[in-house]
Chain A
Amino acid sequence: DAKTTQPPSMDCAEGRAANLPCNHSTISGNEYVYWYRQIHSQGPQYIIHGLKNNETNEMASLIITEDRKSSTLILPHATLRDTAVYYCIVRVGAGNTGKLIFGQGTTLQVKP
């Protein structure tokens, strides 16, 4: 299974962009990159996913390098409510039965 590497923690000033990096150098050609976050002790929440192209939705943007060995999640205007653990995951398997193998994630602290 493709592994991901993330920094254990990051800080970001409120209102600034938060850029969270992730390395997935062993990713296979048909494996998707997913990002989830977990606020305090709630269940994880889906943010965004991508295969090759950059993606954007109402929550965030995902930038994937051309060789697909790394990606960056961008929260354009971080708020205090974005303080959470962010997980970068390479989904194993296809479709809705694909497995999410969670790593340790990055704890993002948004500061006033």
Chain B
Amino acid sequence: DAGVIQSPRHEVTEMGQEVTLRCKPISGHNSLFWYRQTMMRGLELLIYFNNNVPIDDSGMPEDRFSAKMPNASFSTLKIQPSEPRDSAVYFCASTSQWTSSHEQFFGPGTRLTVL
């Protein structure tokens, strides 16, 4: 099992540019979560999907952020336009309704730097 796959692993961009982060959940998992981690705010849940449908996006900081899950094996988190304060590590996690623990499996993260 390859685990949760995120790309790119590192992204450096300039303020105002569009950034797209990608996530492939573990095959068979039906819930997907996007988190952001900074020194100041720790790990924050941004949005999560169940069966490809967004369930709770209350953690999305503002309209510059959007997330999609067009199918069960792919999700994107887009920031447009990006700002320096968006610099953080973005994690994607997935879980399955069939596991009794409902543990979330996290990907390696994407380290985003906005200059």
Contact = CB atoms under 8 A, between A and B. Distances in A.
Nearest to A101: B45
Nearest to A32: B102
B56 to A, nearest CB: 7
B38 to A, nearest CB: 12
Interface in A62-109: 87, 91, 95-105
A43 B35 CA distance: 10
Given A44-B106, A46-B103, A96 B50 contact: yes
A103 B42 contact: yes
B30 interface: yes
A43 B109 contact: yes
B25 to A, nearest CB: 12
B43 A46 contact: no
Given A44-B106, A49-B101, A100 B45 contact: yes
Contacts of A105: 42
A91 B48 CA distance: 14
Interface in A10-46: 34, 41-46
Nearest to B31: A96
B4 to A, nearest CB: 8
Given A44-B43, A49-B103, A102-B42, A96 B96 contact: yes
Nearest to A87: B43
Nearest to A98: B102
B93 interface: yes
The 9 closest A-B pairs by CB, nearest first: A43-B106, A46-B103, A102-B43, A96-B97, A96-B31, A96-B95, A96-B102, A97-B50, A44-B106
